[in-house]
Structure 1
Amino acid sequence: MIRTFAPIALLGLAACTTTSAPTATLDIPEIAPGRIDEAAMRAVVERLASDQFDGRAPGTPGEALTVAYITEQFRAAGLQPGNNGSWTQRVPFVDITGDNFAPLTIAGGSGSPMQFAYGDDWVGTTYREAPRIDLANSELVFVGYGINAPEKGWNDYAGVDMRGKTAVILVNDPDYATEGLDGPFNGRAMTYYGRWTYKFEEAARQGAAAALIIHDTFPAAYSWNVVESSWTGPQVYAQRADHGASQTMMNGWVQLPVAERIARAAGQDLAALRAAAGRQGFRAVPLGLTASTSFTNTVRSFDSQNVIGVLPGREAPEEYVLYTGHWDHLGRCLADASGDDICNGAVDNATGIAALVGLARANAAAGPARRSQVFLAVTGEESGLLGSDYYAANPVFPLAQTAGGLNVDALLPTGRASDVTITGGSKSQLDAFLASALRLEGRTGTAEPTPERGYYYRSDHFSMAKRGVPMLYIDPGENLEVGGTAAGAAAQADYTENRYHQPGDEYAPDWNFAGISQQVQLYYRLGRSLAMSRSWPRWNEGDEFRAVRDASCAAASANAPSC
């Protein structure tokens, strides 16, 4: 079913008027078109997505090739090294590869123990740097959506001691099935509480021994094959001072039919449990069953690299505009029918790195902007936004001196579009800069068609946003000049089902690059307008990230330029 959405470019402007600095007072320079080098961007995608780079997994020879190639491209584009004379920023990682997985055994209740096969029925891993994991007879507790949100008066863990127990958790958040955007968790639009990363983090904070998320394709926004491909094989994490001791023993996923069987064995109905979990005041339900499994781990510590280039500003070099995109992909993954097991990541995210190179070239050709422009190619996005989170926690350029930025992730080669998709909706005064760029491009902004997928919390801009930096995440639209919204939706569905996180995400010489170039032109106008501006965009009143931005600005030195 194809849904239609009202343009929101002007809505973004209206929303900004609720802040202390009305839109009318913002300095939004109009920017002439940039020189977007389509051939150069195509060459970047073709090279990074080649089998030679072996899927660009962090900590592999493919990373070394990738970092060297991006550095070469940044230098050729006219950038300067961005980290105190270096092109890279060290990011400490740990790689944990599980093996010898025992079945997931569920025991108790009136029936015989049930055994579920690793891969087909469940997947799991650990954040602990331990040679072996033994989960033995851990009591299962259904904790609904696994959310503890005091500001919303919502606590799925209220009244239950999770120490030694396994949390069984629903994917997404309680009002994901709502048609509109009204509700305690933004209705259909996913919040961070709906992300799997949050659910595992909260289970660990509650002292759980393990956490199992119930996979359901619609609220998860991807099929089981994506889970299986992403959660099997080597898993990369940011190194923790306690070597992961504060984390659960195991985090994993179970197929929906498996969860239904477990519920029946407990004398429960999963549909009824789901309905109860969506209501205020839900309390966790002990299932009277236990979970057991075991596996071994090979643990390896290594350093990965963010690549950073900068174009120094002309008048305000200590004010910054940030462009982000991740260079990593999955490396080797589950083989397809042909036996190909290289996840090349052509769309995800060789296109994003190509866009950074294209933006760097265009901005260098245009000459210095008022503010400095930072081009950040980050590692570890596929493992949980690790490289961008490390940069945000250890910024080379102070976040309070970063006016804002945009993130580029996965540009489909679908041809030119008359619209763009604005992920996350209206959140900050950057909407006004976007509205200006869209007007100059003759395009419109539409709301994301699948807000329940929570894309705003799933890519590298989120690492900056949650620390207060206003960030935009704009996808190419689906209203294609050839084929309209039907063609755009079909292309997106085909990619999600047949290529996303699979070996089929490969570059082909017949790619239509016109839409990618069109999108990079929009990014150029938008980013350069912010780089030429004297304004400091703010988050909209009531936005979840406004308070942290206000606090960071207040704490910034009075002698340094800041928001």
Structure 2
Amino acid sequence: MKQLMIVLAFIAGSLFSFSQKIDAVINSQEALRIENILAADAMQGRKTGTPGNERAALFIADEFKRAGLEPLEGTSGFLQKFVLVETKVRSSNIVLGGKKLEADRFIAITPKRMLQVDEKTGYTIEYIKGGENFFDKAMAYLQAGKNQVVFVDNSFAKMFKRLNYFKKQLFANAPDVLFVLADEAPAAYLLEVVQEIDEQQAQNVVGILPGKSKKDEYVIFSGHYDHLGIADKPEKGDSIYNGANDDAAGTTAVIMLAKYFKELKTNERTIVFAAFTAEEIGGFGSQYFSRQFNPAKVMAMFNIEMIGTESKWGKNSAYITGYEKTDMGKILEKNLKGSGFTFHPDPYTDQQLFYRSDNATLARLGVPAHTISTSKMDSEANYHQLSDEVSTLDIKNMTEIIKAIAISSTSIIKGADTPSRVNTAELK
């Protein structure tokens, strides 16, 4: 009986110590401090390419440094820099089988000022056939990393113009992906485009906590720090899109998790902490970041997006996008058993959030990469509004969500659990 009492006392002491450690690092005061800085008017809405965005990046980099993280190889002071190109078409030409067609049947997604492609150029030929998932297929080709001509079935004529969204801004070194609205590829074709381009500097913020026995296996915690900038017309004297929930909340979580896991010192796998830019203009930050990793070595990705308000189930709950695609959600639930916190499957599947968020690039490559959120996508009053201020957030509940992410992910970073992979065959 005495031995049992000693064991129980040891367990209770361990749990108390664990609780003390997480509360000391992840608490409401710290969450509010970070939120107030990231969502301050001085950050000017953190729009990519603006001084406010750069100030936010430098603040996050300083927090990573203070946390004791190491820079990722290839970064400069935790800043992962890349160049975006904004394009504007001046003229285009499409000739299929000797017949010149209307220019609106051709969308060239290329960072080049001038481009001329024909059947002899050596570009890969691809197809989006009638009945296929148009946007999933188009995104897969855009992220394939090679020069391609993609012929699109005429049944997608009404959707075709939406691809223009992807040509507005590109990576400076992006491959050429040319979409042509035609039922089949002719024996001979000519595709030409002339564009005006402007270059824009951008940067993610990335730090790592090297692992021990599984140093070459990675677990990623991420969120995007950019937002919408300054409105053209003020409303009630306010013109700054502060983005407190979208996604200063996720970025706050990443910073606090970095400090917590540094203190915990139990990670057998290397943990990567990333704050992305350019999410609001096409997810370019996460795309660039994701391409720096061998997806086979990424064991899990926790992307955190808008956790500052209660979920549809109330407090102490959140949802996981793509829940059914891997067993990662089950692992997290197991680690939270008895805590009172609940993870749910994404209730907004009609909005395709799994392949729309910053987890998408790695998820398409098979990585169990999911987004954790509480945002009520059918009724979030402050979403993309000037009213997305710190005062609208439930900081206490947000802190509990960050704690839940920390606790539920522990067995994965220790290497005890490895989530199953996304079945990429469903994308073909």
- Length-normalised TM-score, structure 2: 0.71
Alpha-carbon distance between aligned partners in 1 of 2:230 and 2:108, rounded to the nearest angstrom: 19
- The answer (yes or no) to whether the contact 1:363–1:528 under 8 Å persists in 2 is no
Letter in 1 for 2:66: A
Q: Where in structure 1 are there 5+ consecutive unaligned residues? A: 1-29, 100-124, 133-146, 150-154, 157-173, 175-184, 186-191, 216-226, 252-282, 285-295, 478-488, 549-563
Query: C-alpha displacement at 1:444, in angstroms?
Result: 3.1
Which of residues 389, 408, 414 is equivalent to 1:532?
414
1:443 aligns with 2:341: yes
**Could you say which residue in structure 2 is the equivalent of 1:262?**
none
1:335 aligns with 2:233: yes
Q: CA RMSD in A?
A: 4.2
Letter in 1 for 2:86: D
- The answer (yes or no) to whether the contact 1:406–1:473 under 8 Å persists in 2 is yes
Alpha-carbon distance between aligned partners in 1 of 2:207 and 2:358, rounded to the nearest angstrom: 17
Q: Where in structure 2 are there 5+ consecutive unaligned residues? A: 1-14, 91-106, 115-125, 184-193
**Could you say which residue in structure 2 is the equivalent of 1:66?**
56
In structure 2, relative to structure 1, the CA distance for the partners of 1:547 and 1:449 (3 Å cut) is closer
**Could you say which residue in structure 1 is the equivalent of 2:86?**
95
Letter in 1 for 2:402: V
1:351 aligns with 2:249: yes
- The answer (yes or no) to whether the contact 1:79–1:309 under 8 Å persists in 2 is yes
Q: How does 1:172-187 map to 2 (within 5 A)?
A: none
Q: Cα deviation per residue 1:522-561 (whole Å; 9 max; x = unaligned)?
A: 1101222201124433226xx336999xxxxxxxxxxxxx
Alpha-carbon distance between aligned partners in 2 of 1:383 and 1:339, rounded to the nearest angstrom: 26
Query: C-alpha displacement at 1:474, in angstroms?
Result: 2.4
In structure 2, relative to structure 1, the CA distance for the partners of 1:427 and 1:344 (3 Å cut) is same
1:78 aligns with 2:68: yes
Q: How does 1:146-545 map to 2 (within 5 A)?
A: 155-156=129-130, 193-194=134-135, 198=139, 205-206=150-151, 213=159, 236-241=169-174, 246-247=177-178, 299-333=197-231, 335=233, 337-338=235-236, 340-395=238-293, 398-414=294-310, 417-476=315-374, 493-495=378-380, 498-508=381-391, 511-539=393-421, 543-544=423-424
Alpha-carbon distance between aligned partners in 1 of 2:38 and 2:247, rounded to the nearest angstrom: 9
In structure 2, relative to structure 1, the CA distance for the partners of 1:306 and 1:341 (3 Å cut) is same
Query: C-alpha displacement at 1:238, in angstroms?
Result: 2.2
- The answer (yes or no) to whether the contact 1:83–1:308 under 8 Å persists in 2 is no
In structure 2, relative to structure 1, the CA distance for the partners of 1:324 and 1:418 (3 Å cut) is closer
Give the structure with the higher percent strand: 2
Alpha-carbon distance between aligned partners in 2 of 1:131 and 1:494, rounded to the nearest angstrom: 42
In structure 2, relative to structure 1, the CA distance for the partners of 1:546 and 1:373 (3 Å cut) is farther
- Secondary structure of 2:336's aligned partner: helix
- The answer (yes or no) to whether the contact 1:413–1:511 under 8 Å persists in 2 is yes
Alpha-carbon distance between aligned partners in 1 of 2:318 and 2:238, rounded to the nearest angstrom: 34
- The answer (yes or no) to whether the contact 2:287–2:361 under 8 Å persists in 1 is yes
Letter in 2 for 1:383: I
Seq. identity, %: 24
Query: C-alpha displacement at 1:194, in angstroms?
Result: 4.9
Q: Cα deviation per residue 1:402-440 (whole Å; 9 max; x = unaligned)?
A: 221211011133386243323223121323321213314
Query: C-alpha displacement at 1:93, in angstroms?
Result: 0.8
Which structure 1 residue ranges, 4+ long, deviate > 6 Å from structure 2? 207-211, 545-548
- The answer (yes or no) to whether the contact 1:334–1:502 under 8 Å persists in 2 is no
Q: Cα deviation per residue 1:467-504 (whole Å; 9 max; x = unaligned)?
A: 22212322238xxxxxxxxxxx6xx5442xx4322322
Alpha-carbon distance between aligned partners in 1 of 2:108 and 2:411, rounded to the nearest angstrom: 44
Query: C-alpha displacement at 1:130, in angstroms?
Result: 8.3
Higher relative contact order (CA 8 A, sep 6+): 1
Q: Cα deviation per residue 1:310-330 (whole Å; 9 max; x = unaligned)?
A: 112233222221111111122
Letter in 2 for 1:49: A
- Length-normalised TM-score, structure 1: 0.55
In structure 2, relative to structure 1, the CA distance for the partners of 1:93 and 1:315 (3 Å cut) is same
Alpha-carbon distance between aligned partners in 2 of 1:473 and 1:300, rounded to the nearest angstrom: 32
Alpha-carbon distance between aligned partners in 2 of 1:476 and 1:343, rounded to the nearest angstrom: 20
Alpha-carbon distance between aligned partners in 2 of 1:235 and 1:39, rounded to the nearest angstrom: 40
